[in-house]
Amino acid sequence: MGPAQIKTKIISNKRFKDNYWHLEFESKSIAGSALPGQFVNIKVSGEAAPLLRRPLSIHKTCGSRVRLFYEVLGMGTRILSTRKPGEFLDVIGPLGNGFDLRSAISDKQQAILVAGGMGVAPLVFLAEKIKLKKPLVLIGAKTKKQVLCLQEFKALGCLVKIATDDGSSGFKGKVTDLLVQLLRPAPSAKRQAIYACGPRPMLKAISKIACEKNIDSQLSLEEHMACGIGACLGCVVPTVSGYKRVCKDGPVFSGRELNW
Ligand SMILES: Cc1cc2nc3c(=O)[nH]c(=O)nc-3n(C[C@H](O)[C@H](O)[C@H](O)COP(=O)(O)OP(=O)(O)OC[C@H]3O[C@@H](n4cnc5c(N)ncnc54)[C@H](O)[C@@H]3O)c2cc1C
Ligand code: FES
């Protein structure tokens, strides 16, 4: 089933901590068809402004409910955080391609999920789908306080390792340096594959590491978007086969494909 534009009622919209919020809405069609890595594009207000919808990853689904996890950054997310349960929300989704799960569920492969900051949002959904494979999850943050979704990943049975810039939790340094330490030298019995979402410099570093070590990587990009449905070319990124639209051809791309 393709994406649909729906008007749905907000079930809950609660501050989780600091600037981080959870929003839940009801949609059988989105919850029933969404793949990890796909996103929804939300009209945050009934007013004319802001004109553009805001893209947010699908964080979890439960029955016909869809849960989002968002950080309040600017006008759009600030307005979203004021929306109340029972109010209508205009949502288009599920959008984008999502992660390719075929390799992630293979017995021959160990999945390593790497999340930087809010990059945890789609990776919790991915971890849920592949939890039987006990993925290794690396969470990167500036400080211990900014480590997100640790309990969610643990509750799914994932092995979780943390990297913080200041060393206040786990490995001291970049999550990509931790990743390098944990990659097995080839050839090893099980191939490793990386699934990542986070800031662009982190994804660029992972793409380089994965290419050097000949490891598959799937990277979810968070580009600024306008239409969100592939029509305006406002979100294109250079790839080895020309410019591609993050909203339609992505947001998930192979590390080998991206032309940083
Ligand atoms: C496919 C996709 C999935 C996303 N999933 C999530 C998610 O699950 N949770 C979440 O909190 N955020 C997510 N984002 C980022 C989110 O869309 C932006 O944070 C949001 O649109 C900001 O809107 P705003 O009006 O609050 O801020 P604005 O006023 O538009 O911007 C505030 C600040 O955020 C930066 N920003 C704006 N848009 C983006 C963007 N698309 N990517 C990175 N930085 C941006 C701006 O440069 C500026 O510094 C996702 C983005 C994409 C493209
Ligand atoms: S946002 Fe319009 S093509 Fe991607």
Number of helices and strands in the chain (H, E): 7, 16
Distance 180 CA to ligand 2 centre (A): 34
Distance 249 CA to ligand 2 centre (A): 10
Least confident of 22-36, 183-197, 219-233: 183-197
CB 69 within 8 A of CB 21: yes
Residues with CB under 6 A from ligand 1: 39, 54-57, 69-71, 73-77, 118, 121, 222-225, 251
- % of the chain at pLDDT higher than 90: 86
CB 254 within 8 A of CB 216: yes
Specify the CATH number of the domain 4-95: 2.40.30.10
**Atom 36 of ligand 1 has which residue's CA nearest to it?**
224
What pTM, to 2 d.p., does this model score? 0.95
Between the alpha carbon of residue 29 and those of residues 17, 178, 251, the distances in Å are: 30, 39, 20
Specify the CATH number of the domain 101-221: 3.40.50.80
pLDDT given at position 114? 98
CA nearest to 71, candidates 123, 6, 11, 148: 148
Confidence label for 164 from pLDDT (cuts 50, 70 and 90): very high
Is 234's pLDDT higher than 90? yes
How far apart CA 40 and CA 82 sit, in angstroms, is 19
- % of the chain at pLDDT higher than 70: 97
Confidence label for 105 from pLDDT (cuts 50, 70 and 90): confident
Q: How many Cα neighbours within 13 Å face the side chain of 120?
A: 24
User: What secondary structure letter does DSSP report for 258?
Assistant: B
CB 197 within 8 A of CB 219: yes
Confidence label for 102 from pLDDT (cuts 50, 70 and 90): confident
- Contact 196 CB / ligand 2 (< 6 Å): no
- Contact 234 CB / ligand 2 (< 6 Å): yes
- Contact 221 CB / ligand 2 (< 6 Å): no
How far apart CA 56 and CA 169 sit, in angstroms, is 27
Minimum-distance ligand to the CA of 199?
A: 1
Minimum-distance ligand to the CA of 77?
A: 1
Distance 54 CA to ligand 1 centre (A): 7
- Give 40-49 pLDDT, tens digit per residue: 999 999 888 8
pLDDT given at position 94? 97
Is 177's pLDDT higher than 80? yes
- pLDDT (mean) for 143-157: 96
Least confident of 96-100, 105-109, 140-144, 147-151: 105-109
pLDDT given at position 54? 96
Q: Where are the domains of the chain?
A: 4-95, 101-221
pLDDT given at position 80? 98
Which ligand 2 atom is the nearest neighbour of the CA of 231? Answer: 3
- Compute the Cα dihedral for 181, 183, 184, 185 and give only its sign: negative
Which ligand 2 atom is the nearest neighbour of the CA of 246? Answer: 4
Check residue 172 and give left, alpha or beta (phi > 0: left; psi -120 to 50: alpha): beta
pLDDT given at position 48? 84
Minimum-distance ligand to the CA of 227?
A: 2
- pLDDT (mean) for 24-53: 94
- pLDDT (mean) for 134-162: 97
Confidence label for 233 from pLDDT (cuts 50, 70 and 90): very high
Is 186's pLDDT higher than 90? no
Distance 72 CA to ligand 1 centre (A): 9
pLDDT given at position 47? 87
pLDDT given at position 189? 56
Among 52, 92, 235, residue to substitute to test ligand 2 (most atoms within 8 Å of Cβ): 235
